[in-house]
Amino acid sequence: MLSDETRAPHRELRASYAGAWGKFLNDAKRAGHLRSDISTAVIRQFILSAMNWTVEWYDVDKYPVRILAERMSKLILDGMCPHRKAGTGGLKLCPATPAKTPDPDGKAAKTRAEILKAAARVLRDNGYKATTLRKIAEEADMKAGSVYYHFNSKEAIVDEVLNAGLRDLLAGVEAAVRKFDAPYDHHARIATAIWAHLDFLFKASEFTSANIRSYGMLPNHFRERHRGIRHEYGKLWDRILRDAQDDGAIRSDIKIVPLRQVMLGALNWTVEWFDPNKAGVEGYLSLPEFSSMLINLLLEGICNREATPSTGQGSPESGCPGQTRRK
């Protein structure tokens, strides 16, 4: 996460780039090529998020960029499900809650827990580089020396915050999908997992939010220490998605690991541009509304399938793959 001061000189150019995307997406929607139930602002930001996050996982030395572009385009245009409408009526929604941990026993343990919560808020709002022991102490309403009594460095605090964030997320999504019994309602199961992931990013866990917001700025040694649990979380999603594909609920031409990486990358990047605290202000979405739009986008794509069917083939000029212009 870059500071507002660092971002400021580039804000106008970024806005111009976003405006260019917004213009041709709005043109496509007016022409009937894009579905009307997803905001073009959400579509634009989601596409840019998915592309921006690829720098974290796609290896251009091994695979051509063309392959990535083709597969991402098809996923965003047509969605992951093979049918025109994904059935998510069995969506199991409940407030996401972090894994229950025993209450701290004793004054020292309680103080330590409060320091970690304060550190999560500071890390979430300021990023790794701008997080200092002094800021953590101020947020915890204590002196810096008191923080040193419990932790010997900023790195030790951040390490625990990052670990707690990933464990909260893993346990929360696991608990959400555990509510489904085989044979699975796969689209509802995927939708529930997406909902839980977003809930942890924005509401359920300050630790998860801090982890995702600061990830891009973390030194490599921090990333390495948490690679194991990130891998475990990725494997959870691979199982969810592969189960769906095995039962025909996800298109057979989609490769599961890149699908998971694109999807989680785009979802994680939403912390950079979506603010659930603005819900109720005209033009802004609540977290449930936002989550529903992203679920529809990922499962069904952005094309207006009801207007003109997609065959999965076509040219860029046709608006969406396989679509012909409406007469």
Give which of 81, 29, 34 is closest to 306, Cα–Cα. 34
Residue 215 falls inside a structural domain: yes
Residue 138 falls inside a structural domain: no
Higher pLDDT: 5 or 93? It is 5
Whether residue 201 is predicted with pLDDT greater than 80 in this model: the reply is yes
CB 49, CB 264: distance < 8 Å: no
Q: What is the pLDDT of residues 27-67, one digit of tens each?
A: 999 999 998 889 999 999 999 999 998 988 899 999 999 99
Range of the domain at 178: 17-100+172-302
Q: What is the CATH number of the domain that holds 234?
A: 1.10.357.10
Q: What is the count of structural domains for the chain?
A: 1
Q: What is the rounded CA–CA span in Å between residue 301 and residue 309?
A: 13
* DSSP result, 127-164: -TTT--HHHHHHHTTS-HHHHHHH-S-HHHHHHHHHHH
For residue 325, the model assigns a pLDDT of 31
% residues pLDDT > 90 (the chain): 55
With 0.75 as the threshold, say if the pTM is over it: yes
Backbone angles phi and psi of 116, in degrees to 5: -65, -40
Residue 266 falls inside a structural domain: yes
Q: What separation in angstroms does the CA of 195 have from each of 60, 88, 189, 226, 317?
A: 31, 12, 10, 23, 34
Residue 150 falls inside a structural domain: no
Q: What is the rounded CA–CA span in Å between residue 301 and residue 266?
A: 14
Residue 263 falls inside a structural domain: yes
Q: What is the dihedral of CA 170, 171, 172, 176, to 10 degrees?
A: 100
